[in-house]
Each structure stands twice: as structure tokens, then as C-alpha cells.
């Protein structure tokens, strides 16, 4: 089964509120990637984190990689309707060749 767990499954916020999704792995990850999928679309790469404790920012999005490299989070400040979609984290299995996705967090933003 899937070794990368993601919570929550759904999140409904009012525009302007903050949003956070969490990703946990049962094993240490070499790196972790985040993707966004708009409704009806395909996943699009957002970022990759490699170093323990790494924090990266993309405008209103903040990505963190845990010290033990087993968890990660994506935080969106002051959500906008354009943030609507499903956010996936993904990490490589032990073989190093298979990217394992979490089930995703679907974000709905109402104006």
C-alpha cells in the first residue's frame, strides 16, 4: 500500500484564510516533491525538498521538510480562489525509482 500519508483529505476555507496540508512517510525519504492538480487537469510540479529541515517559499506558499526527512508540510497564506485544486506530496520508495504519491488534499476556496 501507499507509504506516504497525507492529511487532511479535504479542506474548505474562506478566501483569505490560511491552509496547511501535512505529509508523513513510514520511511526516510531521500527527497519529497509537491504537486498541484487543478480540477479536470493533470498534476503539475511545484517544488522539491532535499535537505533535512529545509524550508522553501514560493510567494504565498511555504514548504517544509522535517528534520528526520519523514514528514513535510505545505502552507498557503491568505488563500485565493486560484489556489483551488488538489495538492499531492510524493516521495521515492526504497528502490529510488518509483515516486509514491500521497492521496492528496483537495482544497476548496470560497469567495
Partner 1 sequence: NAGVTQTPKFQVLKTGQSMTLQCAQDMNHEYMSWYRQDPGMGLRLIHYSVGAGITDQGEVPNGYNVSRSTTEDFPLRLLSAAPSQTSVYFCASTRGSNTGELFFGEGSRLTVL
Identify the three-state secondary structure at position 45: strand
d(CA 42, CA 62): 22
- Decide whether 27 or 80 has the Cβ nearer to partner 1: 27
- Beta carbons of 72 and 20 less than 8 angstroms apart: no
Least separation, in Å, of the C-beta of 110 and partner 1?
21
Q: Is 24 in the site for partner 1 (CB under 8 A)?
A: no
Interface with partner 1 includes 77 (CB under 8 A)? no
Closest CA to 33 of 74, 61, 1, 83: 74
Other beta carbons within 10 angstroms of residue 67's beta carbon come to: 10
Q: Using the rule CB under 8 A, which residue among 36, 104, 107, 109 binds partner 1? A: 104
Query: Does the bond joining 8 to the residue before it have cis omega, within 30 degrees of 0?
Result: yes
- Report the site for partner 1 in 78-97 (rule: CB under 8 A): 88, 90, 92, 96-97
Chain positions contacting partner 1, by CB under 8 A: 1-2, 6, 9, 30-31, 33, 35, 41-45, 48, 50, 88, 90, 92, 96-104
Amino acid at each position: 500500500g501507499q507509504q506516504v500519508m497525507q492529511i487532511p483529505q479535504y479542506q474548505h476555507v474562506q478566501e483569505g484564510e490560511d491552509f496547511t496540508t501535512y505529509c508523513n512517510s513510514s520511511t526516510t525519504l531521500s527527497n519529497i516533491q509537491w504537486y498541484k492538480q487543478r480540477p479536470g487537469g493533470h498534476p503539475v510540479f511545484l517544488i522539491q525538498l532535499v535537505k533535512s529541515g529545509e524550508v522553501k517559499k514560493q510567494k504565498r506558499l511555504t514548504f517544509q521538510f522535517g528534520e528526520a526527512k519523514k514528514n513535510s508540510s505545505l502552507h498557503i497564506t491568505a488563500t485565493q480562489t486560484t489556489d483551488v485544486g488538489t495538492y499531492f506530496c510524493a516521495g521515492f520508495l526504497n528502490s529510488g525509482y518509483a515516486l509514491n504519491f500521497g492521496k492528496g488534499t483537495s482544497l476548496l476556496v470560497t469567495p
